[in-house]
Amino acid sequence: GIQVEQSPPDLILQEGANSTLRCNFSDSVNNLQWFHQNPWGQLINLFYIPSGTKQNGRLSATTVATERYSLLYISSSQTTDSGVYFCAVDDGQNFVFGPGTRLSVLP
Amino acid sequence: KAGVTQTPRYLIKTRGQQVTLSCSPISGHRSVSWYQQTPGQGLQFLFEYFSETQRNKGNFPGRFSGRQFSNSRSEMNVSTLELGDSALYLCASSSMPGGEQYFGPGTRLTVT
């Protein structure tokens, strides 16, 4: 089956810093989503982005499907950005999740 | 529009018992997927239902089963609970298979 990798596994930032999270996948995909899991376990939709670039406030994402990767950019990070960020890809059968990047933003 | 709801939110069961979890999707969504999240295995796909039919099933034993009703609400059942079934069970709904998924708050199951 399809393999999904995320890097880095852990990231610690000072408030106000910028960061880039990466998601690599081993085969072509139909769709890709980015999620933020808050400390209470709720998965929050960030982007539904099978290809191209999207922006939402301080967050933006780019997926290059032909090269099998997606990037999530977080600018001017805030403490509320802390949590785990997952990418999930649709391989035509179901969504496969990566292992996540744990982000800690320090005040 | 109301989001995805899951009941109960927390559950404690004993080994050998069975449990039923419920998921109500966003109004108009006909696809419901279930996932198990554990610290060791991460988020793993359990199964997906679309229009009352199981579309796909993940690599889980037959003790894990589910169904979907005509109103798109879904239930999953785990029989003969084991300690390793302790996990956060997440439900997601989408308008169609492969569509953008929206997750519920999850049911945290503890098996003692």
Band of the pLDDT at A94, cuts 50, 70, 90? confident
Q: What is the pLDDT of residue A1?
A: 87
Alpha-carbon radius of gyration of chain B: 13
Higher pLDDT, residue A83 or A95: A83
Cβ–Cβ contact A97 with B under 8 A: yes
Q: Is B48 on the interface with A (CB under 8 A)?
A: yes
Q: What is the mean pLDDT of chain A?
A: 95
Whether residues B105 and A40 touch (CB distance < 8 A) is answered with: yes
Q: Given CB atoms, is B96 within the 8 Å cutoff of chain A?
A: no
Per the CB < 8 A criterion, the answer to whether B104 and B92 are in contact is: yes
Confidence of residue B44 (pLDDT cuts 50, 70, 90): very high
CA distance B65 to A28: 29
**Average pLDDT in the B55-69 region?**
95
Q: Do B105 and A90 lie within an 8 Å CB cutoff?
A: no
Q: Over the stretch B80-106, which tens digit does the pLDDT of each residue have?
A: 999 999 999 999 999 998 889 999 999
pLDDT confidence of B1, banded at 50, 70, 90? low
Nearest-neighbour CA in chain B from A99: distance (Å): 6
The whole-angstrom separation of Cα A22 and Cα B1 is: 32
> What confidence category does residue A92 fall into, taking pLDDT thresholds of 50, 70 and 90?
confident
Comparing CB atoms, the residue among A33, A45, A94 nearest residue B48 is: A94
What average pLDDT does range B55-61 have in this prediction? Answer: 93
Q: Is B33–A31 a contact, with Cβ atoms under 8 angstroms apart?
A: no
| Backbone angles phi and psi of A81, in degrees to 5 | -80, -10
Task: Give the one of B33, B44, B105 whose C-beta lies nearest to A42's C-beta.
Answer: B105
Pairing of strands B102-103, B87-94: antiparallel
In tens, the pLDDT along A23-82 reads 999 999 999 999 999 988 899 999 999 999 999 999 999 999 999 999 999 999 999 999
User: Tokens standing for B25?
Assistant: 């999707």
Q: d(Cα A66, Cα A28) in Å, to the nearest integer? A: 8
For a pLDDT cut of 90, what percent of chain B falls above it? 92
Element (H, E) at A70: strand A69-74
Tokens of B94: 């989408």
Instruction: Find the CB nearest B90 among A33, A43, A92.
Output: A43
Q: Which two tokens stand for residue B27?
A: 């109004």
Mutate: best of A6, A38, A43, partner B, most B CBs <10 A: A43
How far, in Å, are B45, B48, B65 from residue B61 at the CA level? 13, 15, 9
pLDDT at A39: 86
Cβ within 8 Å, pair B37-A41? yes
